[in-house]
A and B are shown apart, each in its own frame.
Chain A
């Protein structure tokens, strides 16, 4: 009897939280629809470029590399992801990577290119997106300079299997002087350097991501680059296809506020 009461209380508790979450999601939909209809009725669209320029001035720092992790069950359109790359470009971020864990409908930078972007493949899985033209008259930049961002797509093979691959390569070359010297080094600094260089090389020499944005219902790394994200900030966006530029700037503000201590 007592157990039945506890079990009922637990179910009620979960039900209550789920109802709150449903209302929260509903509110997100309503806000999104309201904004879209306002733009449609007034004929003015929200100037994301100007808004981002304004926010950018308030951020004390931006990451060099933004890693976007897409959860297994996330139904996220490629438009949202390509918009995110454009926001990153406008925020002066040097590279953005998409770690897509979904089995289907993965993001493809060669295919999902937004307007005013010219895409060039640098290497397999690595693209350079450049802002070109000013077709609607609002994308002019100082000195006529074009802005660019490196866009890469990573899969689960770039995670733990990549570390195992590096480990295999080191094992195969264990008789070389470099590896022998690294194995004898009691501080492990040389072996760390060998591993680090090999991992970086396999990941297009991208810098370590300082910021990781996870698109998923809950925070989980999904095993994304365990070596490279050791000191990254993890933030979650749970709005799926209703993600707006404000959600992106919210994360950027949080990132700009945080201070890394690196153990000190």
Chain B
């Protein structure tokens, strides 16, 4: 069984590197597109699903590094709605792996509490098998009091789907057209409301693949050729250092201006958030 928070043992050189990096500006929130599991499996002559398992192990290591460096929020792109185009066998294997991993997550509750890890899952959960929906909802509700590291997993997610769901909810709640819909309101009603400072994408692709297109508007993008399961702490630190170089030079890294929402918009936001929580509770009770 692989833990969600890896028991990674640092070498003395890695410990020094982490302490050095911690002297610079640490991103609060990093987003990761974990790409290259299947290519890793092909190049190592192992089954695709074993490549995905290695990919999960790497995420667990990444969480450990993030906790130790002082990163507060990690958002990982685990499964896109576009991935449903893959073969039935691969999708089935992936769903089984995900169910198994979330069940392990529930068993690790004490360790997660100790590390203050709060899980949030973004995406269209209704597209997932019922069993997985139940486990995911339980895991999310179980950790909602934790507040040291926010782990957001994008599962059955695309930005367009997220935006359309948001727009639908806003229109449905805007009965009397009293509320002016602006970018601040849309941003506040999205499933992920915080904006990543840094995006890491592995495997040499220079695309965002419909991941957090709204939230990444002022983020630093860092693309690396390495396949996700091959990422090591030095690659991870290189990404952070890249961010530090930019923030040490740039005076205007966060161009987003926060405009206070009107009373109507706040009411709409509260209604939408309450509906999201209600959905999760209902799903977790279905088990």
Q: Which residues of A contact B (CB under 8 A)?
A: 2-3, 6-7, 9-11, 13-14, 17-18, 72-73, 159-161, 163-164, 167-168, 170-172, 174, 179, 183, 188, 191-192, 195, 217-223, 226-227, 229-235, 254, 258, 260, 262-264
Contact = CB atoms under 8 A, between A and B. Distances in A.
B209 A14 contact: no
A-B interface, 9 closest residue pairs, ranked by CB to CB distance from nearest:
A263-B82, A223-B217, A226-B213, A10-B23, A219-B221, A230-B210, A160-B183, A7-B23, A168-B181
Interface in B142-176: 158-161, 163-165, 167-168, 170-172, 174
A234 B80 CA distance: 19
Given A6-B16, A226-B213, 4 more contacts: A14-B244, A167-B181, A195-B164, A222-B218
A191 B219 contact: no
Contact of A167 (B86, B171, B214, B219): B171
Given A13-B241, A234-B207, A263-B84, A164 B183 contact: yes
Interface stretch (B59-67, B249-257, B271-279): B249-257
A9 B210 contact: no
25 contacts: A6-B19, A9-B23, A14-B248, A160-B187, A161-B182, A164-B181, A164-B186, A170-B171, A171-B181, A188-B164, A195-B167, A217-B250, A220-B218, A220-B220, A221-B213, A221-B216, A221-B217, A222-B217, A231-B207, A234-B221, A254-B206, A260-B207, A262-B85, A263-B81, A263-B84
B69 to A, nearest CB: 13
B233 interface: no
B246 interface: yes
A163 B186 contact: yes
A35 B53 CA distance: 52
Interface in B173-216: 174, 177, 180-183, 185-187, 205-210, 213-214, 216
A229 B159 CA distance: 11
B36 to A, nearest CB: 12
Nearest to B171: A171
Contacts of B246: 217-218
B13 interface: no
A183 B159 contact: no
A6 B172 contact: no
A192 B183 CA distance: 18
B208 A229 contact: yes
A224 B120 CA distance: 27
Chain B CB within 10 Å, residue with most, of A17, A72, A230, A234: A230
Interface string B18-39: 0111111000000000000000
B83 to A, nearest CB: 5
B245 interface: yes
Nearest to A13: B20
Contact of A163 (B163, B208, B223): B163
Interface in B88-143: none
B223 to A, nearest CB: 7
A14 B165 CA distance: 43
Contact of A227 (B23, B80, B86, B160): B160
B167 A167 contact: yes
A50 to B, nearest CB: 29
A110 B208 CA distance: 33
B165 A231 contact: no
B167 A219 contact: no
B192 to A, nearest CB: 13
A1 to B, nearest CB: 13
B194 to A, nearest CB: 16
A6 B222 CA distance: 25
Contacts of A2: 19
Contact of B167 (A72, A170, A254, A262): A170
A220 B219 contact: yes
Contacts of A11: 23
B206 A233 contact: yes
Given A171-B170, A229-B208, A258-B206, A263 B85 contact: yes
A6 B22 CA distance: 9
A180 to B, nearest CB: 10
A219 B183 CA distance: 23
B124 to A, nearest CB: 9
B186 A172 contact: no
A241 B158 CA distance: 37
B24 to A, nearest CB: 6
A221 B221 contact: yes
A179 B222 CA distance: 39
B255 A72 contact: yes
Contact of B207 (A6, A168, A171, A232): A232
